[in-house]
Structures are given as structure tokens and as C-alpha cells.
Amino acid sequence: MDGDGARAAGAGRYAPSPSGDLHLGNLRTALLAWMFARSSGRRFLMRIEDLDRARDAGSAERQLADLAALGLDWDGPPVRQTERSAAHEAAIARLADAGLVYECSCTRRDILAAPSAPHAPPGAYPGTCRDLDPAARAAARDRIAPRLPALRLRVPEGTRAPAFTDRVLGAQHGDIDDLVLRRGDGTVAYNLAVVVDDAAMGVDQVVRGDDLAPSTPRQILLQRLLGLPSPPDVEYAHVPLVLGPEGARLAKRDGAVTLAELRERGIGPVAVLGRLAASLGLASPGEPVTPARLLERFDPDALPREPWTWTDPAVERPGPATS
């Protein structure tokens, strides 16, 4: 994009799933997404990714309240992904009209048990249902009844996995396979929904955890097949995660990791923001800061490239024995 005016027309976003309260890792990513967007003159949008009803804990309003408590703001009302079903189905129909969708009756066990193509990544779909004749497809459908088949993307023959340059990770490439577009229970898959919704919202900057970087080539492929903006017109920045003291991804077992839990320990949102800022090299330990002040100091090229390890300060951990 050329010039500040073009950038201002775009948007960044944060898109949490309402599966529980946001923990420090989620809050740190949200802060980074906000700073990336605001520092580049973009709007900052909020989307509640509530498609998976089985994981919806009804925590969206608490999540938004926690982000506001940190001092983050956003433009316009949050978008709920469940309100976008017509657009998701229209995208699937467009791919189907192009001959790029087929039914898949495979279970996860079937996929893991099937022989993989040479050099295919672990868990890649082996194409079992890709070229079934009508009789075999009907038999496969009967085998899983009353469950319905999933819908998969038929990746065009000869398609190479898209490469992209990530603002944090640098040059990236990954694997693609015939990914699921809609699950057998009718839930639209994440990869399709995020691509359709980002384009509809004018999002041209995606900042999220680096655990999602491997999904990006699939999403870029969908963008191109659907005629939607893709890199270099869409910027990606996959940021490091927050780990617990044992080196695994942060979880409830690691003590107080949400704003509500930290408040109970006497650590308020201002102090939490300061700790997040210090972990990013934007503040000294214990320094009181505001989002506006952090924005003045923000330099995407100077961000840490390694994960941050959180240790709950209220939990005493035994140190080395002394004599």
C-alpha cells in the first residue's frame, strides 16, 4: 500500500473466541494488534469468533470489558461471526460452482490411519474422498449416517503452497491440503470464516499468535481462489506466545492468569498493562504506562522474537536449597 491515506483506509483487528476469560497471552496479543493498527493509521476492529457453539462459554462481554480495562479501544461495534453465516455459505457456494468442493465422510481416525502422500505433513488429508464415484460417495455417506459429510476444498492440481513475508517471522512458507470448509455438524471452518470476514471488514493487517502461522498459507490460497485481497495487500504479523513456568503454553494451571484472578491477588489492570509492556521492551519493570504512551514507543522491528514466560508472583516457588 502506498502512503498514509491508503493505510488509513485499512484495518487491523482482534478476534477472540468466547471460550473463556482472556489470559495474559491473549491480552498481550490484543495489545500488540492494537499498537500495530494504531501506529499505522489503521482502524482497529473487534470480532467475536463464536462459530463453534460447543466451545462458547458466553464470555464475550467479559473479554471486551477486560480489553477496555487495559485502555484498549476499537472502532465500531464488535462483529459476531455467527451473524455472518450467509456470507460464509455464499463463499462455499462460489467454490462449489468452480468445482472446488467435495463431500468427505472421513473421521479423524480414518485420516490418521490412511497412508499419507510422500512428503505430506503429519495429519494432512490424504485425499480419500476426493475422487470417489457417485456410488462410493453415497455408500460413504450412508456409513456415517445420521452424521453428515464435511465439505472439503479441492485444491487445484499443481497448486503450490503460497509463501508470504511475515512482519515478525520474516519469510514463511507452509503446506496446504484439501482443508475442511464446513464440518459435518454444519459449523463453518475457521480458515474459511476468517478469510471471508476479514475481507468483508476491510482488514488488511492480521496480528495474532505465532501458533497460527502454519494456517496462513491455507488462508492465502482461499483468498486467491475467492478473489479476495491477499499478500502483499494483506500484512501478517505472528507474535510470540506467553508460556507458563514449565515452558508450555499459558494455562489456568499456571496460577493467576486472567484479569479477574490477578485483581484478587491485588494486581490491577494498570499493573498488568505495565507487565505486558515490560515483556515487550516498552517499559521498565514497575513503570506505570498507558496505551497512548506505549504507542509512542512502539517499533514493530524491535519486538522480541521469543516467547515470554509468565510466573505468577503470588505463588511461592521453592528456590535452590542452601546450607
Q: How far apart, in whole angstroms, are the C-alpha atoms of residue 4 and residue 41?
A: 7
pLDDT band at 9 (very low <50, low <70, confident <90, very high): low
Residue 14 labelled as part of a binding site: yes
Residue 53 labelled as part of a binding site: no
DSSP 134: H
Residue type, 172: Q
Q: Is the pLDDT of residue 138 over 80?
A: yes
Residue 104 labelled as part of a binding site: yes
**Domains, in order of start, for the chain:** 10-77+240-309 (3.40.50.620), 85-190 (3.90.800.10)
Q: How far apart, in whole angstroms, are the C-alpha atoms of residue 113 and residue 70?
A: 47
pLDDT band at 297 (very low <50, low <70, confident <90, very high): very high
Residue 9 labelled as part of a binding site: no
Tens-place pLDDT, residues 92-106: 999 999 999 999 999
Is residue 163 a contact partner of residue 172, using CB atoms and an 8 Å limit?
A: yes
Q: How far apart, in whole angstroms, are the C-alpha atoms of residue 82 and residue 60?
A: 13
Residue 17 labelled as part of a binding site: yes
Angle at 58 (CA atoms; ends 54, 62), nearest 5 degrees: 145
Residue 49 labelled as part of a binding site: yes
Which candidate, 274, 258, 273, 237, places its Cα nearest to that of 312? 258
Which residue reads 457417485 in cell numbers? 134
Tens-place pLDDT, residues 259-279: 999 999 999 999 999 999 999
pLDDT band at 25 (very low <50, low <70, confident <90, very high): very high
- Report pTM: 0.90
Instruction: Classify residue 15 as exposed, middle or buried by CB count within 10 Å of its CB (0-12, 13-18, 19+).
Output: buried
pLDDT band at 1 (very low <50, low <70, confident <90, very high): very low
Tens-place pLDDT, residues 219-254: 999 999 999 999 999 999 999 999 998 889 888 788
pLDDT band at 316 (very low <50, low <70, confident <90, very high): very low
Check residue 256 and give its pLDDT: 84
Tens-place pLDDT, residues 156-208: 999 998 999 999 999 998 889 999 999 999 999 999 999 999 999 999 999 99
- CB atoms < 10 A from the CB of 147, how many? 13
Q: Give the SS3 label for residue 125.
A: coil
Q: How far apart, in whole angstroms, are the C-alpha atoms of residue 158 and residue 39?
A: 40
Residue 125 labelled as part of a binding site: yes
pLDDT band at 255 (very low <50, low <70, confident <90, very high): confident
Rg of the chain in Å (alpha carbons): 22
Which candidate, 134, 221, 142, places its Cα nearest to that of 175? 221
